[in-house]
A and B are shown apart, each in its own frame.
Chain A
């Protein structure tokens, strides 16, 4: 704690905020960092790995040290840069990564353990016995970390918006404003975005007024960050309407994510000052020279009374001027160049900082080599400048290339998409610098990446351990990772690596710039698509009918289907068992509306279907249907369903619910790309018709009763009216019982359901949901796309090979000839039985610890006897019939002895389909 450092100017503080519970005041326009400095707070955070005391280094989004948690409850935002949040009345900020307190942090012991936490520590713990990692992991998670994510729901809403413009200018500094005004003057639609709350950029710290772009017709968006520059002029912006932790104005979102399409993009993103590398350069009070100046000129805050400037360029001299104007003492300017410019400050040529001294409260002195001597200077702030790095992130994200500028020791935009242009400091219009000196007496305490606690010695160690590529260096040392993505550290890290390698910096290379430019919240990314709106909810035509029957709903892709209709006191399992048993013994009805349905018509309808389906189609008689399946080009089963010949040139194809969109695209591909001359039309009708399945020993009688017609034989079809509504009746069975699917226009189908349900209930049956349907089909051995047909199974693997059309000519036929697909040890469909329930997803092994030979794809109860049944994919398939195996699910701690059987447990001959 030191005395308040606000420069006397007559203005008063009108905002209240707290930091770690301590009440403080601030002025409108203060960043939290400015307000903390004004209140004399120099210790703001503890570092990531060694828990070293850290203060505020920068005045912009590049800040690596001063990460705080802002806000309370669901509005809590961890890892917020104190330099990137503007104080509002009632702001609550807390330090992070310190326990029990910032001033006395137990984690600082890590600093003493530094030799056990070198570069690559995390990687090294992965080697050797796994138990060692288990031991370290808990320690690492507790000791090294950033802030904690909130557990409460965010009370605010977020939204996505779109905008279009002729010119998008990113950066509201002098260069960006100029370009925006010029573009607007020539009549273009111009958007200017600035991440700060004020326009001006570098002019703010130099006290220079900037012209008004809005007056010139520019649409200005403040507090808006261009976070990603994508293809073809597409830029994502994040607009902060509320500050972190702040309640937004009534009816307003907290943040907006903008999707902007611009014909031309001008990047006036400025440049970020680099720290110098010397021992203790991470101490509170060691700051970027441009930041010290910004706090003086913009916020009226002098970070310290005794200022030492350490620089390799002319820009820092302006900071010395500003410090003196503000009433500070410029103790010394340490200039690494042999011939510094003339200045009205004590200036030392060929002067290089060696070590900053001090304690938790911050820096108290600095030692420097001045010529051939070593000198010590008292200081409570060290303003350092290692030169400026143009912000090329957005240029690079969009595929722009970079060139090296020796005079500023930095990369600048070179080539790239023709619609993107950089201007101002972003193209390297910054002060030239003297190249960095390699002298570094104490590399262990000379930090390069402050946020990740990467010291010069860590870069050297990575080099000695053989990490040559800069991308490997990044991953091994974590240099350039985390919330600041190396904005202040990448160039120093590269320079150090290049020195070790004896190459130039451009030869050492550069890591990739990826969006986002600054961290963005999950809320901004999600926009309005959260909670119940995370995905569209597709309702079936009879939704209200099921809702009135208290159905439990099951999401199936975007659809919601009834899972079961529990009676009072029944569990889901009880209800499903009751419903399924009713189908086996009496009758039941279920909603099958979501099945994909395609009307295929035309003289070449059969030819198209024979290209898509792997089974015989052409010989199907009018009025008959057949089970069919489709393959991918690699021979794996894509989908399955039924095909019905409605008339001479008209077919109805059904396929799985989840695969409906994929099948629509596949049919279109085969027709329009592979066989465009076929005279056929395909109409997707999934939503047109409601589908109701009536199944059970009494189904035929109920249907006859309702329609007055003779029910069609199994795999036959008929048309009739039910409850006065015309319906197409397909005699298909998924349950293994005699069954009929009735299709009618969705808006007309409710009376059909009602009529069937009345008859079913009168007979002692029930409506049944997906859970019962699953029990029924498993017992019958019907495969499901996504379970048994998991994208790796051929028709042979699923026991469907006898249905394959011998003549070929269908998608996937050729690839089935691959020899490996005939290997005897392929996993193939089998059944499993046990005296108890078999865990779904379990591995199949001979004994505990043995090699995995297969897995359980679907499991359910036997419906009319005791025990469990399952379908499984097992190496060797039915050649293993009769073997006993262990179905083991360690995650659920369930281990069940099972016997391999044929994959059908109920009515293997299909006798129950026949009346």
Chain B
């Protein structure tokens, strides 16, 4: 069970959070279909750090971006989701 340092609430157990998706698989409603399908179904799986969208569902319910290592699960940063976050 990971320990996630919510920027609003502090360190909380993973059980309070829900994983949504990686940032690069967010599709907006005006993207062309090819890009939508590529983002949804042809995703990268880097052996290293990735940026993920999580929600503190059983806490403050805010959307968060985790920089997390896919192999070690080390979390480098937890930030509030900002819509202009580059992927």
Interface of A toward B, CB cutoff 8 Å: 230-234, 259, 261, 399, 417, 611, 633-634, 665, 668-669, 672-674, 676-677, 808-811, 813-815, 817-818
Cross-chain contact B73 with A815 (CB below 8 angstroms)? no
Q: Shortest CB–CB separation between residue B30 and chain A, in angstroms?
A: 8
A665-B57, A673-B63 known; A233 and B3 CB under 8 Å?
yes
Q: Report the separation of the CA atoms of residues A231 and B3 in the bound assembly, to the nearest whole angstrom.
A: 8
Complex Cα distance, B28 from A159, in Å, reads 46
Q: Are A815 and B33 in contact (CB under 8 A)?
A: yes
Write the B47-77 contact mask toward A (1 if CB under 8 angstroms, else 0).
0000001010100010100000001111100
Of chain A, the residue at the smallest CB distance from B14 is A231
Q: Can you name the residue of chain B whose Cβ is closest to the Cβ of A236?
A: B1
Closest-CB distance, A345 to chain B (whole angstroms): 50
Query: Are B27 and A814 touching (Cβ within 8 A)?
Result: yes
Question: Beyond A231-B1, A672-B63, A673-B81, is A399–B72 a contact (Cβ under 8 Å)?
Answer: yes
A residues less than 8 Å from B79 (CB atoms): none
- Interchain CA distance A633-B39 in the complex, whole Å: 11
Return chain B residues, CB-CB under 8 Å to A234: 1-3, 13
Q: Which residues of A contact B36 (CB under 8 A)?
A: 633, 814-815
Given A232-B73, A665-B57, A673-B53, does the pair A811, B29 have CB atoms closer than 8 Å?
Answer: yes
Contact A814 B73 (CB under 8 A): no
Cα distance A815–B33 when bound, in Å? 6
- Interchain CB contact under 8 A, B18 and A232: no
Contact between A231 and B73 (Cβ–Cβ < 8 Å)? yes
Question: B3 near A261 (CB under 8 angstroms)?
Answer: yes
Complex formed: what's the CA distance from A261 to B55 in Å? Answer: 22
| 19 CB < 8 A contacts A-B | A231-B3, A232-B75, A233-B3, A234-B3, A399-B73, A417-B74, A633-B40, A668-B63, A673-B20, A673-B63, A673-B83, A674-B28, A674-B29, A809-B29, A813-B29, A814-B27, A814-B36, A814-B37, A815-B37
Q: A232-B75, A674-B26, A814-B29 are in contact. List 12 more A-B contacts (CB 8 A).
A: A230-B1, A231-B2, A231-B73, A261-B3, A399-B73, A633-B27, A668-B61, A809-B30, A813-B29, A814-B37, A815-B33, A815-B40
Contacts of B1 in A (CB 8 A): 230-232, 234, 259
Query: How many Å lie between the Cα of A809 and that of B57 in the bound state?
Result: 27
Interface string of B7-22 (1 = CB under 8 A from A): 0000001100010100
Which residues from B are CB-within-8-Å of A677? Answer: 83
Q: Is B44 an interface residue (CB 8 A)?
A: no
The count of chain B contact residues (Cβ–Cβ below 8 Å) is 30
Interface residues in chain B, defined as those with a beta carbon under 8 Å from any beta carbon in chain A:
1-3, 13-14, 18, 20, 26-33, 36-37, 40, 53, 55, 57, 61, 63, 71-75, 81, 83
Report yes or no: B33 in contact with A814, Cβ–Cβ below 8 A. Answer: yes
CA distance A808 to B36 in the complex (A): 14
The chain A residue with its CB closest to the CB of B61 is A668
CA distance A813 to B36 in the complex (A): 10
In the complex, number of A-B residue pairs with CB atoms less than 8 Å apart: 71
Closest to A676 in B: B83
Instruction: Please tell me if the beta carbons of B29 and A672 are within 8 angstroms of each other in the complex.
Output: no
Chain A residues whose CB sits within 8 angstroms of the CB of B29 once the complex forms: 611, 674, 808-811, 813-814
Minimum CB–CB distance from B83 to chain A (whole Å) comes to: 5
B47: min CB distance to chain A, Å: 13
Cα-based distance from A811 to B74 in the complex (angstroms): 33
Q: How far is the CB of B84 from chain A (nearest CB, A)?
A: 10
Question: In the assembled complex, which residues on chain B have CB atoms less than 8 Å from the CB atom of A633?
Answer: 27, 36, 40
Residues of B within 8 A of A818 (CB): 33, 37
Q: In the complex, A674 Cα to B57 Cα: how many Å?
A: 18
Q: Which residues of A contact B55 (CB under 8 A)?
A: 665, 668-669
Min CB–CB distance B18 → chain A (angstroms): 7
> Please, which residues of chain A bring their CB within 8 A of the CB of B40?
633-634, 815
In the assembled complex, which residues on chain B have CB atoms less than 8 Å from the CB atom of A231?
Answer: 1-3, 14, 73
Do the beta carbons of B73 and A665 come within 8 Å of each other? no
Minimum distance in angstroms from A168 CB to a CB of chain B: 14
How far in angstroms is the closest Cβ of chain B from A812?
9
Check if A814 sits within 8 Å of B31, measured CB to CB: yes
| CB of B71 to closest CB in A, whole Å | 7
Interface centre among A231, A634, A669, A673 (most CB of B within 10 A): A673
C-alpha spacing A512/B4, complex, angstroms: 26
Which residue of chain A has its CB nearest to the CB of B29? A809
The distance in angstroms between the C-alpha atoms of A810 and B13, with both chains bound, is 34
Assess whether B83 is in contact with A232, with CB atoms less than 8 Å apart.
Answer: no
CB distance from B73 to the nearest CB of A (A): 5
Q: What separation, in Å, do the CA atoms of A815 and B40 have in the docked complex?
A: 10
Residues of A within 8 A of B13 (CB): 234, 261
Q: How far is it, in angstroms, between the C-alpha of A674 and the C-alpha of B63 when the chains are bound?
A: 12
The residue among B2, B36, B40, B74 with the most chain A CB atoms within 10 A of its own CB is B36
CB neighbours (8 Å) of A676 from chain B are: 83
Give Cα distance in the complex from A634 to B25, angstroms. Answer: 12
What is the minimal beta-carbon distance from B64 to any residue of chain A, in angstroms?
11
Q: In whole angstroms, how far apart are the Cα atoms of A261 and B11 in the complex? A: 11
Complex alpha-carbon distance, A633 and B38, angstroms: 12
